[in-house]
Amino acid sequence: MEDLASPEPKPQPDYRELLERWGEISDLGRARALLAWDERTMMPASGAAGRAEQIATLARVRHERLTDDRLWELLERLAESTRDPDTIEAANVRAARRDCGRARLVPADLRAEMARSASRGETAWAAARPESNLAAFLPHLERNIELRRRYAACFEPTSHPYDPLLDDFEPGMPTSEARRLLTELREGLVPLVATLAEDPGAPEDSIWLGRNRFETDAQKRLASELLRLLPLPPGGWRLDPTLHPFATSIASGDIRITTRYDPDDLSFAFFSALHEAGHGIYEAGVPAESRRTPIGHPASLAFHESQSRLWENWVGRSRPFLEQALPLLRREFGDRFADLDAERLYRAANRIRPSLIRVDADEVTYNLHVALRFELELELFEGSLQAADLAEAWNARTEEYLGIAVPDHAHGVMQDVHWAAGSFGYFPTYTLGNIIAAQLWEAAAAELGDPDRLIAERDLETLRAWLAKRVHSHGARYLPAELAERALGGPPDPGSLLRRLSRKYGELYSL
Amino acid sequence: MEDLASPEPKPQPDYRELLERWGEISDLGRARALLAWDERTMMPASGAAGRAEQIATLARVRHERLTDDRLWELLERLAESTRDPDTIEAANVRAARRDCGRARLVPADLRAEMARSASRGETAWAAARPESNLAAFLPHLERNIELRRRYAACFEPTSHPYDPLLDDFEPGMPTSEARRLLTELREGLVPLVATLAEDPGAPEDSIWLGRNRFETDAQKRLASELLRLLPLPPGGWRLDPTLHPFATSIASGDIRITTRYDPDDLSFAFFSALHEAGHGIYEAGVPAESRRTPIGHPASLAFHESQSRLWENWVGRSRPFLEQALPLLRREFGDRFADLDAERLYRAANRIRPSLIRVDADEVTYNLHVALRFELELELFEGSLQAADLAEAWNARTEEYLGIAVPDHAHGVMQDVHWAAGSFGYFPTYTLGNIIAAQLWEAAAAELGDPDRLIAERDLETLRAWLAKRVHSHGARYLPAELAERALGGPPDPGSLLRRLSRKYGELYSL
């Protein structure tokens, strides 16, 4: 718009063609997302073979369109003719060039081989994990690492061999920065965890547990009611059971949240539903009119995780929220929660306990699980650690950071699917999300006043609107580093998170 | 295989390429089917705009691939080099050439215009129908007819202007044959209906009805239990509520059945669930290994409808099946069905009553609803009837065939969505399905003995296996006319159906 009066008119037909082409690329991606959601929530078991083909076809067709030479030529012309870098148009051209450029650097053969190896690795892992059969899994792990090395090499020159892997999830963040942030956080957390673990005044949290104690239908009603407390888009979301909880969005007004109902542990569905809803609130905040454009999606996995953690931990584990949840708990599980007061529920929701399994970890120790994975990944790709020595390194570091011994590989190096599926560079974004959430909370408090007051007043919409303005509404218009400047007022920094955890758990425990 | 020793080897790489290309075309179609299923069963309301874009993109990409010049050249080469016409390979080449050839004859502009006009027509119809506002709807109807005329003209020379419309649903069937079959049936049914309508010994069927009498959850359980009586693939189907019942298959082992639970009328869900399950049983019988090939789908809409009608009417309204359904009805709606015996339930499920609305019609009068629509379509495309005179012709023919007056257009010419959405040539397949079902039942009885005995022995698998051998397993290997020869032992013929209806209702009524 700003260029209308300038001597050279904008190449409007080129830009229109870009939006048309990207609309198709986006639609193919969203269709694939729906097929994946359906596979994990609705599909009859015997649909699996057909579904694998359908998803592979959609991915292939989308990739073909993304790497089409005509699209690349179009983007080259647009990059040359776009002069004002601050427009939405320029951001769309930049984002599209980034995505296309990266897609074009990787040969189709290598991509296919990675997909095959990931699929085989996941199958082998699923079979080997129950018996902690590391020997059966190791060749797949080695193959995945080798293929990811070749993948990373496609992006040379790079400052660090891990950079291209991290860049897939956290665009533009150098490995060195992720290392600095996670190391600083880890150094602050290890002594805190050690102190909390030995504290005799630790909160009592057995209220959440009980063998076959929590009936699924009652949990479903509870989770639905909980999500009704959050500012999800009215008429724009649904909640379904699955094996491994996730959230996905088929459109801004079509948010799919999933959770799992563990009959022995009510806290799993309670907090994972809030977590996935947080992802959903972010997706719903990306403006519908930008959805099919290059910037029409969240900025990065770390920003995504910052939203899920914020709604799960900062809102969901707060005193005022749990006070509102208590009547819902009493309605479904009356006999158990009748005599519990809100303060005891708050304490029960905030017990810190070093444990073996990442996905069951509390908000403090979780980051140590991530730190050890991230550090091991770096060593693998720097070449200072071999896959054959990974388990030993894992066990030693678990002892060092969490103070516990690993009894078997199923509870150790084989617990996560990520490496089995060839996914390296993903783990650090979990902790980066926690770091960003803490900074967002501080920034929100500075502008809106104490967010706990908003929660108490059932005015979560004010908090959501603030997050939407600062983060959601931009989609991927800015790279994460620039979005951090705009939303947090500076780069990611673990200081806020460390302050928050020390203060919160200092008060809760007898420190 | 048969050609391995012959001097000219088969063009195996070409055939492999055909299968690869068709696999993608098929996957894109199945993905679209899943998006459509989700839209009608699962999607949050505000997902509609995004979904329309996603479905349009999948349709466009699929169409592009289907009309790709390289695919057409490949098929030309394959047609020339394929010598034995009886192989699966030859059938795949024929089916692919048919589909591609038809797709290539229609200009992209016309297709887009038809899609737009259909979408606008459906919206206008939905708004105008409640007030029977024919004037508001008429321009859309006229536009749809004009576009369909232009569409049909793409296939010239044709023997009849309606041929290409019918051919979309019933490959290879000439209009003249459909006319002969439907006219012969109609001439047999009109006097039968007139007799039954005046019969004082008509069965009592009020057991199915009652204002807000049938609770949705109980109906859901009943429908699930009913479908468990049918030979659906174990672990390969699901049943969900929707507004307008349909069935679709995402894979042979992934059958999606839907129904609607009317709180005032239990018979709707009862019989529509059986009907849609019949469609699903056909889809599940198309071999998984052929699914992604050109012949990997049912042969035609008439054969499809023959299966839904067979399970709904021939099995579902039979004495032995209803005897098995009675305990299920009593379990969910005990007070109402406790004193009803199986014979009275059988009578209540087989009441013939001329009525205004096609989708609520019984198995006899249904065919008269179809006959009048088909005849009016023919007159419209032959030019002997103008859209402006359609309503008058509709009302006159309803009086003539069914003996009842049409009170308003909502209960007359505006009741169905088909014409609003530009769908002409579809209606006759409903009755052709009934005709084929009757012939299949006679053929099955001749080979297996009385099918009612199989139902009584809860051995519906034997009946399904016979249908699979005769019909399902061939997919679209044969055109409907050839499949009829093989499965029915001759061409479609209304004799079987007329005999069945006269006998059944002669016994049930006091004739």
pLDDT digits (tens, 9 = 90+) for B76-124: 999 999 889 999 999 999 999 999 999 999 998 999 999 999 999 999 9
Query: Six-digit token pair at B60?
Result: 């466009």
User: What average pLDDT does the segment B326-346 reach?
Assistant: 95
Q: What is the pLDDT of residue B301?
A: 98
Confidence band for B3, pLDDT divided at 50, 70 and 90: very low
Of the residues A27, A63, A65, the best mutation for testing chain B's interface (the one with the most B CB atoms within 10 Å of its CB) is A27
Angle between helices A480-488 and A428-448 (to 10 degrees): 30
Give me the percent of chain B exceeding a pLDDT of 90. Answer: 94
Residue among A116, A35, A173, A109 at smallest CA distance from A492: A173
Q: Which residues of B touch A52 (CB under 8 A)?
A: none
How many angstroms separate the CA atoms of B238 and A38, rounded? 12
How many angstroms separate the CA atoms of A345 and A318, rounded? 10
Confidence band for A2, pLDDT divided at 50, 70 and 90: very low
- Residue B231 pLDDT > 80: yes
Catalytic residue among A89, A122, A276, A363: A276
Judged by CB atoms closer than 8 Å, whether chains meet at A44 and B235 is answered as yes
Instruction: Give residue-wise pLDDT tens across range B457-510.
Output: 999 999 999 999 999 999 999 999 999 999 999 999 999 999 999 999 999 987
Query: Six-digit token pair at A384?
Result: 């200072």
Confidence band for B10, pLDDT divided at 50, 70 and 90: low
- Residue B238 pLDDT > 80: yes
**Can you state the percent helix, strand and coil of chain A, rounding each to 5?**
65, 5, 30
The residues, any chain, with a CB within 8 Å of residue B455's CB and separated by 6 or more, are B315, B318, B320, B321, B324, B463
- Residue A10 pLDDT > 80: no
Q: What is the pLDDT of residue B2?
A: 42
Residue among B88, B71, B74, B76 at smallest CA distance from B3: B88
- Residue A55 pLDDT > 80: yes
Amino acid at A462: T
- Residue A14 pLDDT > 80: yes
Instruction: Give residue-wise pLDDT tens across range A279-288.
Output: 999 999 999 9
The residues, any chain, with a CB within 8 Å of residue A290's CB and separated by 6 or more, are A88, A296, A475
Peptide bond between residue A130 and the one before it cis (omega within 30 degrees of 0): no
Give me the percent of chain B exceeding a pLDDT of 70. Answer: 98
- Rounded to whole angstroms, what are the CA distances from B322 to A122, B257, B270, B314, B319? 48, 21, 11, 11, 5
Would you list the DSSP string of B372-429? HHHHHHHHHHHTSS-GGGHHHHHHHHHHHHH-----SGGGTTTS-STTTTT--S-THH
Contact call for residues B281 and B231 (beta carbons, < 8 A): yes
| Residue of B44, B50, B233 lying closest to A46 (CB–CB) | B233
Judged by CB atoms closer than 8 Å, whether chains meet at A24 and B61 is answered as yes
User: The pTM is what?
Assistant: 0.94
Judged by CB atoms closer than 8 Å, whether chains meet at B34 and A38 is answered as yes
How many angstroms separate the CA atoms of B278 and B260, rounded? 16
Would you list the DSSP string of A151-163? HHHTT-S-SSTTH
Q: What is the pLDDT of residue B4?
A: 42
CATH class of B206-354+433-508: mainly alpha
User: What average pLDDT does the segment B418-439 reach?
Assistant: 97
Backbone dihedral region of B492: left (phi > 0), alpha (psi from -120 to 50 degrees) or beta? beta
Q: Which helix (H) or strand (E) holds A122?
A: helix A108-128
User: What average pLDDT does the segment A319-343 reach?
Assistant: 96
How many angstroms separate the CA atoms of A44 and A105, rounded? 38
Judged by CB atoms closer than 8 Å, whether chains meet at B53 and A27 is answered as yes
B253–chain A Cβ distance below 8 A for any pair: yes
Amino acid at A378: L
How many angstroms separate the CA atoms of A496 and A435, rounded? 7
Judged by CB atoms closer than 8 Å, whether chains meet at B250 and A53 is answered as no
The complex's ipTM works out to 0.93
Q: Which residues of A touch B288 (CB under 8 A)?
A: 49-50
How many angstroms separate the CA atoms of A240 and A223, rounded? 10
How many angstroms separate the CA atoms of B74 and B93, rounded? 10
Instruction: Report the chain A residue with the minimal C-alpha distance to residue B41.
Output: A42
B379–chain A Cβ distance below 8 A for any pair: no
Would you list the DSSP string of B103-155? HHHS-HHHHHHHHHHHHHHHHHHHHHGGGT-HHHHHHHHHHHHHHHHHHHHTT
Would you list the DSSP string of B54-80? HHHHHHHHHHHHHT-HHHHHHHHHHHH
CA distance B255 to chain A (A): 8
User: What average pLDDT does the segment A47-64 reach?
Assistant: 94
Q: What is the pLDDT of residue A5?
A: 45
Contact call for residues B274 and B316 (beta carbons, < 8 A): yes
Q: What is the pLDDT of residue A82?
A: 85
Residue that is written with structure tokens 């007159």 in the block? B379
User: What average pLDDT does the segment A33-50 reach?
Assistant: 95
| Residue of A54, A56, A236 lying closest to B30 (CB–CB) | A54
Q: Which residues of A touch B32 (CB under 8 A)?
A: 31
Q: What is the pLDDT of residue A510?
A: 77
A377 among known catalytic residues: no
- Rounded to whole angstroms, what are the CA distances from B330 to A90, A188, B150, B209, B340? 67, 67, 55, 15, 9
Query: Six-digit token pair at A122?
Result: 């996941």
- Residue A310 pLDDT > 50: yes
A289–chain B Cβ distance below 8 A for any pair: no
Give me the percent of chain A exceeding a pLDDT of 70. Answer: 98
User: What average pLDDT does the segment B407-411 reach?
Assistant: 97
Instruction: Report the chain A residue with the minimal C-alpha distance to residue B30.
Output: A54
Instruction: Give residue-wise pLDDT tens across range B446-460.
Output: 999 999 999 999 999
Judged by CB atoms closer than 8 Å, whether chains meet at B51 and A255 is answered as no
Would you list the DSSP string of B162-188? THHHHHHHSTT--HHHHHHHHHHHHHH
What is the Cα gyration radius of chain A? Answer: 23
Q: What distance separates the 2 farthest-apart alpha carbons in chain A?
A: 76
B203–chain A Cβ distance below 8 A for any pair: no
Instruction: Report the chain A residue with the minimal C-alpha distance to residue B60.
Output: A24
How many angstroms separate the CA atoms of A419 and A377, rounded? 9
The b/e string for A445-480 (b: 16+ C-beta within 10 A; e otherwise) is eeeeeebeebbeeeebeebbbbbbebbbebbbbbbb
Q: Which residues of A touch B49 (CB under 8 A)?
A: 251, 253, 288
- Residue A135 pLDDT > 50: yes
Q: Which residues of A touch B54 (CB under 8 A)?
A: 27, 30-31, 34, 250
Judged by CB atoms closer than 8 Å, whether chains meet at A46 and B254 is answered as yes
CA distance B351 to chain A (A): 36
Instruction: Give residue-wise pLDDT tens across range B162-209.
Output: 999 999 999 999 999 999 999 999 999 999 999 998 888 889 999 999
Average pLDDT taken over every residue of chain A? 95
A254–chain B Cβ distance below 8 A for any pair: yes
3-state class (DSSP) for residue B352: coil
Rounded to 10 degrees, the C-alpha dihedral B86/B92/B97/B99 comes to 130
How many angstroms separate the CA atoms of B372 and B357, rounded? 13
Task: Report the alpha-carbon angle B402-B137-B375, nearest 5.
Answer: 35
A20–chain B Cβ distance below 8 A for any pair: no
How many angstroms separate the CA atoms of B487 and B302, rounded? 13
Instruction: Report the chain B residue with the minimal C-alpha distance to residue A288.
Output: B50
Instruction: Give residue-wise pLDDT tens across range A433-482.
Output: 999 999 999 999 999 999 999 999 999 999 999 999 999 999 999 999 99
Instruction: Give residue-wise pLDDT tens across range B17-39.
Output: 999 999 999 999 999 999 999 99
| Residue of A24, A47, A288 lying closest to B251 (CB–CB) | A47
Average pLDDT taken over every residue of chain B? 95
| Residue of B38, B54, B292 lying closest to A27 (CB–CB) | B54
User: What average pLDDT does the segment B234-261 reach?
Assistant: 96
